[in-house]
């Protein structure tokens, strides 16, 4: 059977674009469909704009530090419209880069929604149909609101980048990395931030000691973090709403006055003033409520199950180690598979797909020992197992130190950093490395190489320290803090 294309990619994010380009460079006839903006979550509404906002939010503290170092600088208001305008210009530029890369690789682009009608046929939203020998689904995911009354009053992470003005008071619901990153970002931009998380500690799944320090530093910076807390009820704020705090201690410290809280005019953009009642009995009005309570794969109404592709209970496409679905001609990579939801992983999966399908070299996906970073302030960088995971597997030694880094100590700030190694007693291999510090994301990329190579604690010990740096502590810790 003659097909229109050798490969049809559905989804113009980092993974899909990379797979399309590499396959086309090898001589395949390739098309790609994207019904939103080229670049996907990472470039348009995720990693890139978020990291730019991280940079922007760090300058307020930088100005405070500058005065401690002798610079005569004055504080000024943050100009959100000016910043967001430049941000949109940069995202437009990056989207153009992605389009140019595809065109330069002779990939045909369809700015349309696509769905599957059989194992080799794609139907576009304009009614046309295309056939392909291989189909790659790389449609990513989207943020979801919780299933609760009034959830439509809140915004999600995609909406943050399109706000016309910053809220004065923001409630963030959630305790994962997206919630914590935006809590730090918005606080750094001058927003009064309250965060609710129903669990006992934020950043579930990360090392307990590391996430505990992150929570402590977030509170220290003025984020009103409330654990074991969730929303009971929420409604549009109105003149008849009064909001007072009935709690004491931590709840009273959330900053609401004892009398009525003034209801502000609706913020321009998505959402608006919302009255919220919490499980701790407190009530307050927020200018915005941001739900950072999870993401779901973009698999709805794509015809997947109708043609035999297996979809999991969360909507994720089920694939094997080669990213192949139950339908041999259909593959899937990236967040839509629900495996490891990181942009570099999607790109690696796209490369492995091309190697397997077009280069005749079956390449399984390696999801082991992937370094990652959480861009809170300070950042968290991690690779390998947490202390809790490792001690459940085998006896381990824990090498750990926490201290005030030179830069912030001189400025008089109470910030602390953490350097931690989890070491196997039997093999002496470093099973996990966890860093909480400014620039932890940069550090963990390099530490990740050593851990991936199977470095032992003695390999770290033989490495000469770079002084004076925070990271030198990774190679100077000689005595374990504890065994587990």
For residues 68 and 15, membership in a common domain is answered with: yes
Predicted confidence at residue 1, as pLDDT, reads: 82
What pairs with residue 33 in β-bridges?
A: 10, 110
Q: Is the pLDDT of residue 265 over 90?
A: no
Asked if residue 362 is part of any domain, the answer here is no
**Residue 446's CATH number:** 3.30.390.30
Predicted confidence at residue 280, as pLDDT, reads: 93
Q: For residues 150 and 271, is the Cβ–Cβ distance under 8 A? A: no
374-417 confidence digits (pLDDT tens): 999 999 999 999 999 999 999 999 999 999 999 999 999 999 99
For residues 42 and 135, membership in a common domain is answered with: yes
Residue 195: other Cβ atoms inside 10 A: 29
The mean pLDDT of 193-219, rounded to a whole number, is 98
Asked if residue 231 is part of any domain, the answer here is yes
User: In whole numbers, what is the pLDDT of the chain averaged over residues?
Assistant: 93
What confidence tier does 206 reach under pLDDT thresholds 50, 70, 90? very high
Residue whose pair of structure tokens reads 């390998």 in the numeric block: 384
- Residue 467 Cα distances to 179, 416, 420, angstroms: 35, 18, 18
What confidence tier does 340 reach under pLDDT thresholds 50, 70, 90? very high
- Residue 239 Cα distances to 168, 260, 274, 367, angstroms: 18, 11, 12, 53
Domain that holds residue 22: 5-142+295-357
Predicted confidence at residue 456, as pLDDT, reads: 98
For residues 22 and 135, membership in a common domain is answered with: yes
The percentage of residues in the chain with a pLDDT greater than 70, rounded to a whole number, is 93
For residues 353 and 376, membership in a common domain is answered with: no
The pTM for the full model equals 0.92
Which strands make up the sheet holding 224-227, listed edge to edge? 224-227, 192-197, 169-173, 288-291
Of 266, 291, 316, the residue at which a domain comes to its end is 291
Asked if residue 363 is part of any domain, the answer here is no
290-323 confidence digits (pLDDT tens): 999 999 999 999 999 999 999 999 999 999 999 9
Asked if residue 93 is part of any domain, the answer here is yes
Q: For residues 268 and 315, is the Cβ–Cβ distance under 8 A? A: no
Rg of the Cα trace of the chain?
A: 24
Predicted confidence at residue 136, as pLDDT, reads: 98
409-446 confidence digits (pLDDT tens): 999 999 999 999 999 999 999 999 999 999 999 999 99
Q: Is the pLDDT of residue 51 over 70?
A: yes
The mean pLDDT of 54-68, rounded to a whole number, is 96
For residues 156 and 287, membership in a common domain is answered with: yes
Q: Which residue has the higher pLDDT, 246 or 438?
A: 438
Residue whose pair of structure tokens reads 């098309």 in the numeric block: 31
Q: How far apart are CA 382 and CA 278, in angstroms?
A: 33
Residue 142 annotated to the active site:
no
Provide the domain count of the chain. Answer: 3
For residues 65 and 133, membership in a common domain is answered with: yes
Asked if residue 364 is part of any domain, the answer here is no
For residues 284 and 397, membership in a common domain is answered with: no
For residues 23 and 95, membership in a common domain is answered with: yes
Predicted confidence at residue 170, as pLDDT, reads: 98
Predicted confidence at residue 271, as pLDDT, reads: 54
**Residue 284's CATH number:** 3.50.50.60
Asked if residue 77 is part of any domain, the answer here is yes
């Amino acid at each position: 059977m003659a097909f229109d294309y050798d490969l049809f990619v559905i989804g113009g994010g980092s993974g899909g674009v990379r797979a399309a380009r590499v396959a086309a460079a090898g001589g395949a006839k390739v098309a790609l469909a994207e019904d939103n903006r080229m670049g996907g979550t990472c470039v348009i509404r995720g990693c890139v704009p978020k990291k730019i906002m991280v940079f922007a939010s760090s300058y307020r503290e930088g100005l405070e530090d500058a005065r401690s170092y002798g610079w005569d600088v004055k504080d000024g208001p943050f100009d959100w419209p000016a910043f967001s305008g430049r941000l949109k210009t940069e995202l437009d530029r990056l989207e153009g880069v992605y389009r140019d890369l595809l065109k330069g690789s002779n990939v045909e682009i369809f700015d349309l929604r696509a769905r599957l009608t059989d194992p080799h046929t794609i139907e576009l939203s304009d009614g046309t149909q295309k056939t392909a020998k291989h189909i790659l689904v790389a449609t990513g995911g989207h943020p979801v609101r919780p299933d609760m009354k009034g959830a439509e009053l809140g915004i999600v992470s995609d909406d943050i980048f399109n706000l016309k003005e910053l809220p004065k008071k923001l409630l963030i619901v959630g305790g994962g990395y997206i919630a914590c990153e935006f809590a730090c970002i918005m606080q750094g931009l001058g927003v009064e931030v309250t965060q609710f998380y129903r669990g006992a500690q934020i950043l579930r799944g990360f090392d307990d000691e590391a996430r505990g320090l992150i929570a402590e530093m977030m509170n220290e910076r003025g984020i009103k973090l409330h654990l074991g807390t969730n929303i009971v009820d929420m409604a549009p704020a109105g003149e008849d709403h009064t909001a007072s705090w009935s709690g004491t201690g931590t709840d009273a410290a959330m900053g609401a006055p004892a009398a009525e809280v003034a209801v502000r005019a609706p913020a321009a953009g998505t959402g608006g003033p919302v009255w919220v009642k919490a499980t701790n009995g407190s009530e307050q009005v927020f200018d915005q409520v941001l739900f950072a309570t999870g993401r779901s794969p973009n698999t709805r109404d794509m015809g997947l199950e109708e043609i035999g592709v297996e979809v999991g209970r969360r909507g994720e496409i089920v694939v094997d180690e080669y990213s192949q679905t139950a339908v041999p001609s259909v593959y899937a990579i990236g967040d839509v598979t629900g495996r490891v939801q990181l942009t570099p992983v999607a790109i690696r999966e796209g490369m492995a797909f091309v190697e397997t399908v077009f280069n005749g070299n079956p390449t399984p996906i390696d999801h082991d020992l992937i370094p990652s970073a959480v861009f809170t302030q300070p950042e968290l960088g991690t690779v390998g197992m947490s202390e809790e995971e490792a001690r459940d597997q085998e006896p381990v030694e824990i090498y750990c130190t926490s201290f005030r880094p030179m830069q912030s100590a001189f400025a008089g700030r109470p910030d602390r950093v953490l350097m931690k190694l989890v070491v196997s007693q039997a093999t002496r291999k470093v099973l996990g490395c966890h860093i909480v510090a400014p620039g932890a994301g940069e550090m963990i990329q390099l530490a990740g190489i050593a851990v991936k190579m199977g470095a032992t604690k003695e390999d770290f010990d033989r490495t000469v320290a770079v002084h004076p740096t925070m990271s030198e502590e990774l190679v100077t810790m000689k005595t374990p803090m504890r065994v587990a």
